Structure 1
Amino acid sequence: MNRPECPNTTKKCGGCPLLALPYNEQLAQKQARLQALLGRFAPVEPVRGMADPWHYRNKAIATFAMQQGRLVCGLYAEGTHRVLPSADCLLQQQALNRTLQAVLEAARACRWTAYDEDRRAGMLRHVVLRGTREGRVLVTLVTPGPSLPGSRNFCAALRGSAPWVQSVVQNINPTATSAVLGNREKVLCGPGMVVDTLCGLRFAISSRSFYQVNPAQTEVLYAAAMELAGLTGRETVVDAYCGIGTIGLCAAPRAGKVIGVERNPAAVRDAAANARRNGLRQARFFCADATEWMRRAAGQGLRPDVVFLDPPRAGSTPACIEAVARMAPTRVVYVSCDPETLARDVALFTRQGYRAKRFVPVDLFPHTNHIETIALLQRRAGR
């Protein structure tokens, strides 16, 4: 498989550290890592890779800077705050690369400047792009304050040169932290979201929605998760850390009842709206800490057949794993983006009476060190 040339390789952008390694060797390296970490628990299946591992990312984040008096945007050089101006990333969807260039040109036409953290002056901090498989794009401009003079002209110029842009949102982040997005937003034009198709369902995506960045491989991942769950149409399913409901709603047509739990109120609203959008009345969503909710539910006698866990990179917690075990599901399907924390948590589940049966790795992040893995954990008889 021929490797395209990246303009930022020699500048050490750090976005794809495995780019120089042939893709089959990347998969072999990830397989060996998983085998070393997880092989003692259960068989590790071959990593499911991509046929065409380029331009797969449906999300892009770029930072603005002033260089020689001119507005630029791009990724940070690895380990620095030096912005590498580029709108042509080999991992991002082509529509996002074109959109990033159009955003920069429209911002320059408005004579906007990049925010300088030291002087606390300037208008633009970052831009976040969310794309769909149909080519529609949501643009989110991150600013240090609510003032953005000329925003109407910006939207008109952007949508004139990039008609596939469906909406533009301003996110206000005044904090001096590494977090890209703040908590306040206002819609500058359009509906403030885009709607994507995944596994035959429609999902609304906003700037702060958690949504897997590789749609083609996400369908592979979720199909494997549904297979491991062994749903027959009658089961009660709990989807912990449910986000906007993607896993739970993919399970809903195959289950009797789906309960999603998520502590982010905006995500819960999105999940409920996505259930309505897809006519899935058997799915309900609750805004709560997953651990506390499951502990209460177990005390009230809830005994789901299957629990899906899709925690953040830091993994689950001993308290959450104990709460799952109290509900005593027959199967736990754990979707992990970090093999180290997965190995730790599988060991904790083992102490709670569960046994790992299979590990299914799916390469959602070609040319990076990351790997997504699904673990099937089955409750031991008599527990």
Structure 2
Amino acid sequence: MYPCPLFKKGCGGCPLLALPYPGQLQKKQAHVQKLLGGFGPVRPILGMADPWHYRNKAVSTFAAGPGRSLRSGIYAQGTHKVVPVEACLLHHPALDEAIAAVRTAAAACRYEPFNEDTRTGLLRHVLVRHSRAAGEVLVCLVTAAPELPGSRAFVAKLRQLCPQVSTVVQNINPRHSSAVLGSAEKILYGRGCIQDSLCGVRFQVSASSFYQVNPVQTELLYNQVIAAAALTGAEILLDAYCGVGTIGLSCAGRARHVLGVEVNRSAVQCAVQNARLNGIRNARFVCADAGKAMLDLAASGQRPDVVILDPPRAGSTPEFLTALDALAPRRAVYVSCEPATQRRDLEFLVQRGWHVEHIQPVDLFPHTEHVETVVLLSKGEIDSKKVRVEFSLEDMDMSGFQKGATYEQIKAYVLEHTGLKVSSLYISQIKRKCGLDVGQNYNLSKKEDAKVPKCPPEKEAAIRDALKYFQMI
């Protein structure tokens, strides 16, 4: 018997739900062992004591219900049908309470759901975030148009029903796209953000901020990173792919100096604000390509003691890894949310003399297939008078990097960011449109006269977003 009634209705958000949690951990442990065990010892996976209601963020999509009622939920797998969700076993209860209050307040204001086919209606989605530290809830109402009639009445009703809501934001997304958020926002109530804390450091969290959704396991993950870095207070730490600075700032109290590098300017601005919020003066953040920044450091004779890298699901790049090798820190701590691409990157480094000291899996997303890994790497000192190695990027085997993301990685990205389920067939069609190698003949049927369904526009947009994210186009 499944513990969730949505499991058989095509939800797809918890593919391992039918497997008891100890079995899930065993499955993930075996997966990491198979992929990474050849590099070094794999430690026992760190799971959750209570693997339920851990998510601090949720997105719900609006749709019309019976009798023109307003409902919200998730898309059933492979369809545009919204399955109503009253409660989720992974959501913090405050999220479901806030979403229910939004539905009631929106219905009282006679807001109608947006219809993608007719391009009518107003409400597209609601995104909610919860702060474990302060108990606050952020509500972001995503609309198809900038006007929100009766917004004051909506906010008053919402806060009456759910007093935990401390800020309300309207996000405007008029695009014909599967992306949840648009680029324009209005603050309807409060500060427009909430505060949460990780490892004793406070962070400002807005609707669009990247912030880990499982705070309990994130602290566990970061503590593993800190332990692997072996910080004593005297080290210079380089935090590559630093994002809004969560890892670097969590380490700042144990390092002499932290330098965070991130190519996303908005994220760098958030990292600077978070450092100021906590009065952290030994951390500096710059907007730059991490690989180029490391080459510049190496050329100037500067050498951090520790490099922490936490790249996106697509993994790192040969340029970055070559720069890391040239910089030659004493230790490198590689945090990954995709062991398959991490394996490729480790092969690159091991071929250049790096050693994997240990591999620590952490279950950040119970009841899903995802697993995080923390890998500690070191490189023995080489006497430059005796050994000189010359190589260029042109001579390297780049095939592993050129393949980009797998079909499963693209599906996972689209589901996580848009709530849409996309098939390998649809991914194949869009890859062909973009001039990419498909690898498998998903577009051909065994029947000569078979009709092949075409990828809907909103799913095509979502797949293209994923291909851009994985740097395939």
Q: Compute the TM-score of the two structures, normalised by the length of structure 2.
A: 0.78
Cα shift readout 1:98-135 (whole Å, capped 9, x = no counterpart): 11111111111111111111111111111111111132
Match of 2:97 in 1: 98
Could you tell which deviates more after superposition, 123-132 or 176-185?
A: 176-185
What is the aligned counterpart of 2:35 among 34, 37, 41?
Answer: 37
Quick one: percent identity of the two aligned structures?
56
SS of 1:64's equivalent? Answer: strand
Q: Write the distance in 2 (CA, Å) between the matches of 1:352 and 1:124.
A: 53
> Aligned ranges for residues 1-383 of structure 1 at < 5 Å?
5-68=3-66, 69-133=68-132, 134-382=134-382
d(CA) in 2 for partners of 1:239, 1:224: 15
Answer whether contact 2:2 2:17 (CA < 8 A) is retained: no
Q: Write the distance in 2 (CA, Å) between the matches of 1:224 and 1:162.
A: 37
Q: In structure 2, how many angstroms separate the alpha carbons of the residues matched to 1:5 and 1:249?
A: 39
Q: Does the Cα contact within 8 Å between 1:322 and 1:352 map onto a contact in 2?
A: no
Q: Report the CA distance between 1:339 and its aligned residue.
A: 1.1
C-alpha separation in 1, matches of 2:151 and 2:262:
34
State the TM-score, normalized to the length of structure 1: 0.96
Once the two structures are superposed, what CA deviation does each residue of 1:183-241 show, in whole Å capped at 9, x if it has no partner? Answer: 22121110010000211111111111111111111111011100000111111111111
Shift of 1:33: 0.5
More off after superposition, 175-184 vs 48-57: 175-184
Deviation at 1:299, TM superposition (A): 2.7
Task: Give 1 or 2: higher helix fraction.
Answer: 2
The structure with the largest alpha-carbon Rg is 2
Amino acid at match of 1:78: Q
| CA distance in structure 1 between the partners assigned to 2:320 and 2:179 by the alignment | 26
Measure, in 1, the Cα distance between the counterparts of 2:297 and 2:109: 54
- The alignment yields a C-alpha RMSD, in angstroms, of 1.5
Deviation at residue 76 of structure 1 after TM alignment: 1.3
CA distance in 1, matches of 2:244, 2:120: 35
Where has structure 1 moved over 3 Å in runs of 4 or more?
none
Q: Deviations over 1:47-85 (max 9, x none)?
A: 100111000000101111113322111111122221111
Aligned to 2:447: none
CA contact (8 A) 1:169 1:187 kept: yes
**Secondary structure, counterpart of 1:125 in structure 2:** strand
Task: For residue 374 of structure 1, give the secondary structure of its aligned residue in structure 2.
Answer: strand
Gap change, CA 1:222 and 1:114, over 3 Å in 2: same
Find the residue that maps to 2:147 and give its secondary structure: coil
Amino acid in structure 2 at the alignment position of 1:48: L
Residue segments in structure 2 that go unaligned for 5+ positions in a row: 384-473
Pair 297,120 (structure 1): closer, same or farther in 2 beyond 3 Å:
farther
- Compare the two structures and name the one with the higher strand fraction: 1
Q: Which amino acid aligns with 1:212?
A: Q
- In structure 1, runs of 5+ residues without a counterpart are none
SS of 1:127's equivalent in the other structure is: strand
Comparing 263-272 with 253-262, greater Cα deviation is found at 263-272
Any idea what SS the aligned residue of 1:148 has?
A: coil
Partner secondary structure for residue 100 of structure 2: helix
Report the Cα offset of residue 4 of structure 1: 8.0
Structure 1 residues 352 and 181 mapped into 2: Cα distance closer, same or farther (>3 Å)? farther
Output the CA distance in 1 between the equivalents of 2:2 and 2:97: 18
Q: Is the 1:127–1:139 Cα contact (8 Å) retained in structure 2?
A: yes
